[in-house]
Structure 1
């Protein structure tokens, strides 16, 4: 710890922020940590991502450059040391959508409209060259953490493999041309920037895991948020808004949307269970009843009929689920 602190001090001195005050900020599900720096009225964010535990952060900056070039707001990099995993970033402020809505709920609809419009802009203007593919085959395999950490682990049963096969087939049947997918697009990773104009008023964070995937994936992530409930009607309004912007039929889109959401919910059940058991983060368990509730809503869509009995028999409801 002392050695790491000394390296941080030296990095900030090289960047001209040695005398800045430092306030730790809440982190995310990764091993990264964040600190707000204040110096003579200026602010910046220190991202501490030790390579031994966090790996290289190359994707963060590569994807950030793509988003910025497309006219979207992401934190600019002010200084970096990739070998140490220390990065000084632009501070986009505190107006995280989830917190802003909690204090000013009257703005929820307009903020979700802005987030939906920014998503449409992202999909139209950010290319997929070089992004990892997250298509039906990859998505079906990616629910395996639910078996490993939520159901009980060990070698997957034949029935579990059947579930993956059925999900894969349905995802293929309702696939669409791949677009750039943020992959963690929700109200805790989006900020409101009132001093900017147009699409730039929405700031984006945690985009380093971007992939090439289905247009409905990020919308499902936004509107079926594991961390918060949306006011009644907003989900339907935003689905219609999105479909009007991108084209196609609403019925077909809603079928694909349900399947994308089901896959995401199953994976999240596994990831949250793993974070609680292996990373000492039991707070994620409190979010799982909401994930389960939304999973049941999506399973009620007719497109999910082949999945419903398998999930009912294989996946136990989390503690506290209704």
Structure 2
């Protein structure tokens, strides 16, 4: 096939998968490309993360740590990180998101299994990953003022925005301590159902975890339950948060931290989706922005976010946030 990357055949031959059938898989928001590889009865997934735009080494680092510590990452069959090639276990086609679109009755069970998968991750020390610190939280939150506000032709107090986050993040950081392993993009499109049962449960495999950090246990809960790409009802969010709290028994003020991280993550996502539209010409992300704003509006109601909420009211008033679902034009 003429659209296959140069070097794919030689890599597969070196990996013991020569003369395999190669089927491209549609991509998303990055330079990475994926292919399903079939050789006889065997199948595997091939990730092509070409330098300099991509670097597969962080994926390999996190995957090996997850596997060594009993978590369901894909097995690594072969790699050539310098050239961007990684051949991994094939988890199949059953993304949690797609499964639930077809069988919404499985939602409670599937989310409960996804919550339960976080419990051992959060009960152990963080892996050998960088810390999710205040500069990182600030850098991510600033994507809103860097991309969304200019797209909306809003001239905002960016320094005041940073100061508002500086007022709410230190208590969270103190409670975060050394942190736990945070996958950072843990949601229904990045959870694979491996041979799912009829109720949508069964084993769940992890993908897209290469940006893992040592951070707060509430972060991946926010990612899962305030999903930018799939509607999760407030009742489901509450039920799953209660399920997590009853099993993990986190420290006091956990729900305050959940709200702070919800607002921080959602501000980041609004900025990223705007960037994908304005810079990368991907308008489909605009339709997800109203869902993100709705979740952020709920987060901003928590008293722990009062300085940030005040900044929003002064700089991006509710009427602007709600007009056209908060989408940039």
Query: What is the TM-score normalised by the length of structure 1?
Result: 0.90
Deviations 1:193-248 (A, max 9, x none): 2479xx99121001100011111111011000000012452111111111122224
Give distance in 2, aligned partners of 1:100 and 1:200. 12
Match of 2:132 among 116, 120, 134: 134
Residue 236 of structure 2: aligned partner = 234
Note the alpha carbon deviations across 1:73-121, whole angstroms, 9 max, x for none.
1111111112211111110111111111111111111111111111121
Counterpart in 2 of 1:321?
325
Shift of 1:125: 3.2
Aligned to 1:260: 261
**CA distance in 2 between partners of 1:310 and 1:301 (Å):** 14
Unmatched segments (≥5 aa) in structure 2:
none
Alignment-derived partner of residue 28 in structure 1: 28
Kindly report which structure 2 residues correspond to 1:168-183, keeping only aligned pairs within 5 A, or say none: 168-175=166-173, 176=175, 177=177, 178-183=179-184
| 1:30-76 Cα shifts (integer Å, max 9, x gaps) | 2101011122122111111111221x211111111111122111111
**Cα root mean square deviation, aligned:** 2.5
Bigger drift between 222-231 and 187-196 goes to 187-196
Q: Which residue of 1 aligns with 2:142?
A: 144
Task: Assess, with a 3 A threshold, how the Cα gap between structure 1 residues 5 and 293 changes in structure 2: closer, same or farther.
Answer: same
In the alignment, which residue of structure 2 is the partner of 1:204? 206
Count residues in correspondence. Answer: 315
- Is 1:193–2:194 an aligned residue pair? yes
Cα offset, 1:144, TM superposition: 1.4
Which stretches in structure 1 are left out of the alignment for 5+ residues? none
Deviation at 1:282, TM superposition (A): 1.5
* Counterpart-to-counterpart distance in 1, 2:161 and 2:24: 43
Q: What do residues 120-174 of structure 1 show as CA deviations (whole Å, max 9, x unaligned)? A: 2112235333x11112342123211111111118xx9782222222222212123
Corresponding residue of 2:13: 13
The alpha-carbon deviation at position 265 of structure 1 amounts to: 0.6
Q: TM-score if structure 2 supplies the norm length? A: 0.88
Q: Distance in 2 between matches of 1:293 and 1:85?
A: 38
Q: CA deviation at 1:319?
A: 6.7
Using the alignment, how far apart are the partners of 1:212 and 1:313 within structure 2? 33
The alpha-carbon distance between structure 1 residues 23 and 255, as it changes in their structure 2 partners (threshold 3 A), is: same
Equivalence map 1:286-297=2 (5 Å): 286-297=287-298
Q: Tell me if the contact between 1:151 and 1:314 (Cα under 8 Å) persists in the aligned partners.
A: no
Residues 109-128 of structure 1 aligned to structure 2 (within 5 Å): 109-125=108-124, 127-128=126-127
Residue 303 of structure 1 is matched in structure 2 by: 304
Specify the SS of the correspondent of 1:78.
strand
Name the counterpart of 2:165.
167
**Contact kept in structure 2, 1:135 and 1:214, CA below 8 Å:** no
**Displacement of 1:15:** 2.1
- Structural mapping, 1:36-75, within 5 Å: 36-54=36-54, 56-75=55-74
TM-superposed deviation, 1:318? 7.7
